[in-house]
Structure 1
Amino acid sequence: MDKILIINNFLDYYQASSWLKTTLVFIAFLFAILILRFLILKILKSKEDRNVIQNEVAIPFLNWLTTYGILLFILIYFSNFDWMRKKFASIGNVEITVFLIIIAVLIISFANRTSKVITKYLLPRVYDRYQLDRGVQFTFNRMFHYSIMAIAFIVSISTVGIDLSALTVFAGVVGVGIGFGLQNIASNFISGIILLFERPIKVGDRVIVDDIIGDIERINMRATVIRSINNEHIIVPNSYFLEEHVVNRSYSDPKMRLTIPIGVAYGTDVEKVRLMLLQVASDEAKESETMILDPEPFVNFVGFGESSLDFELFVWISNPNAVLTTQSNINFRIYRILADHQIEIPFPQRDLHIKSFDGDTIKINK
């Protein structure tokens, strides 16, 4: 009897309480949509090709549907409630409510998601068709994303009823703030736009910044991300590339020259050394994909060092990313061919003269 009485009391309270009905319906909907998401994921995991489907298409799309489904349900189901329409701020003559904020968030987030889908799945097909390089692709992607987000922002502001002219005062205040406190951020933002259009550097380029060699990974709104050859990520402000000296090994022509120094002992046949070094360059070109013979390799007789005859082997490669690999391979070949021909690679020597107390002089070679 007690249980029946409790149930009857709950039903009476439920019928008399509108907020309880609303809360229970919302919880039921939320529970149902989460259960549905869980079941779909279980079905996807049962497939053999689940890795491709989950990572590339299914899970992001499922998360997108879940999030927007909940937001739309909140917007529609609670649209007539007082707390949705209650003003908590105002801009000009427009009253800001939770309802208007949800609409603005939906528009901006939907535009952001749409932009990412287009740049990830649709635009690459266009790039492949016209054979655009990686840097051009990145520039188009960023400008497309910025344009979509700017349009979404304007549409969301207009949808909630805010007159853009009412924001002129706010824009003036922001302009003053940029002129004083945000000058550095504004400079880097404008520099980023210049980098995307003028393209002194682009994604994929190999650059040298403060004696650090790395590849351009991303050009963001404020800073550029460089991944060094040691797999370290360096964050460089965009203005740096317009104000400082930067070496771009991939700019215009990716070909670059390598200089390999070598010293041999005095008395060595220098013509024989020259022919052997050219042979090393020829052998490496046959096995390397990046080593090229046009321009031709050249042996430079630098001069007469303190303990060796100094030479330099000049070779060219087509990919600046292969500098270390090619240089190391050539050094191995040079050492091997000099050892096979019994040509000495000297090391620095010094003669020390030590004078004893009895006047004798001891000579020590070091």
Structure 2
Amino acid sequence: MINDILKNLSILNVFWFIIDLSLILLGNRLLHWTVNFVSKKKTYPSKNFFNSIVSLLNWITIYAVIFLFLFSFPNRKWMFRPLYSQGGIDVSFFLILIVIMSILFAHKLIKLLTTHVLKPVYKHYNINNGLGYTFNKIIYYTLMIIALGISFKSVGIDLTGLGTIFSVLGIGIGFGMRNIAGNFVCGIIILFERPIEVGEVIQLNEGIGRVENIRLRSTIIRTAKEGTLIIPNQYFIEHIIKNRTGSEMIAEVTVSVEYGVSTEKVDKVLHEAVSKVKGKSEGILNEPNPTIRFVNFRNRTMDFLVEIPVINFEIKEQIESKLRHSIVQSFTEEGIHLAPYEFSQVLLNKLEK
């Protein structure tokens, strides 16, 4: 077969291939320059839109190079020679290549549509990010299913037959894949009911994170300490999830001191420690003001609770650490001793607006 492909290939063919390839690459660079020039002059659309256009141009260039390479051979009959016949369609290598490239190109175009074309529409009609994200997912999966269906039909694959095969296989493997199927169903429920949305801050057990992406099988959560978590969607349907969005985070430190120390002095020193942290740190809210409370008597200690409102969960633990350093320094300067068995814990509360 290779001999048939290379048959009658001459130096002239190679020469024209190099010339055509150079023209394609030159055209690609000119289009890149044009897009970059326009992006610097325009503030809208966004820079990401122009980056997507550049990416799309690169895909078109790759496709052009592939076709140029294939059609540079004098003998091109091998591309159109039927590999098999299905449903009255003669399927060749060229047809299979067109189908694969069409699916990939459809994926790229749909991503461009949902990311940059529909986003201004959502903004114009005051559609929030969560609902817009749901619409984008529905549009993406719907159009990709249509593209795949058309592609399969083009190569003679009977979708009715595939449906029958999958239904039979589904009975056999249904029990083994019930968890995966459950996660898919829960993913659809989350997209439509929207108990959580992309960008929201949620609490899982003792951890807090921000929703990065909601996929059909799993949801991506970014946390400050554990990094990125991939959580099956079924978890969000079966467990209680605390939504922290719309609420400030409270950095809390409980400080225990020995009996015999003036409580008013402790209160004053804690206020000074808080003022030092607030003056040197970013991410602390101006309203409401930090609070210091005498919260409990214990067998050997008196407990004070320091609360500072912060902007988000990412900054919360940093503020708590700085607050502890400041408290220890201020107590040392004033001769106040922490309890021998220090009872210091970090809590997370929700402060309703």
TM beyond 0.5? yes
**Partner residue, 1:302:** 296
**Partner residue, 2:348:** none
Structure 2 distance, partners of 1:278, 1:201, is 38
Superposition pairs for residues 191-340 of structure 1, below 5 Å? 191-209=186-204, 211-230=206-225, 232-250=227-245, 253-278=246-271, 288-294=282-288, 297-306=291-300, 308-340=301-333
1:182-210 Cα shifts (integer Å, max 9, x gaps)? 32322222222222233333333344546
**Partner residue, 1:86:** 82
Structure 1 distance, partners of 2:261, 2:214, is 52
Aligned with 2:102 (options 101, 107, 128): 107
The 3 A distance-change label for structure 1 pair 23 and 120 is farther
Question: What's the secondary structure of 1:112's corresponding residue?
Answer: helix
The alpha-carbon deviation at position 70 of structure 1 amounts to 4.5
Question: What's the secondary structure of 1:240's corresponding residue?
Answer: helix
1:291 and 1:317 in contact (8 A); partners too: yes
RCO higher in 1 or 2 (8 Å CA, sep ≥ 6)?
Answer: 2
1:297-322 Cα shifts (integer Å, max 9, x gaps)? 3514222243x322222343342332
Aligned residues: 328
Moved more, 130-139 or 181-190: 130-139
Cα RMSD for the two superposed structures: 4.4
The 3 A distance-change label for structure 1 pair 28 and 277 is same
Structure 2 distance, partners of 1:129, 1:333, is 48
Give the TM-score normalised by structure 2. 0.71
1:299 and 1:312 in contact (8 A); partners too: yes
**Partner residue, 1:7:** none
Question: What's the secondary structure of 2:317's corresponding residue?
Answer: helix
Structure 1 distance, partners of 2:291, 2:179, is 47
The alpha-carbon deviation at position 268 of structure 1 amounts to 1.3
Q: Which amino acid aligns with 1:191?
A: C
The 3 A distance-change label for structure 1 pair 201 and 102 is same
Question: What's the secondary structure of 1:236's corresponding residue?
Answer: strand
Structure 1 regions of 5+ residues with no counterpart? 1-16, 350-366
The alpha-carbon deviation at position 149 of structure 1 amounts to 0.9
Structure 2 distance, partners of 1:246, 1:26, is 66
Q: Say yes or no: does 1:63 pair with 2:58.
A: yes
Structure 2 regions of 5+ residues with no counterpart? 41-46, 343-353
The alpha-carbon deviation at position 22 of structure 1 amounts to 7.5
1:192 and 1:221 in contact (8 A); partners too: yes
Structure 1 distance, partners of 2:184, 2:88, is 33
The 3 A distance-change label for structure 1 pair 314 and 115 is same
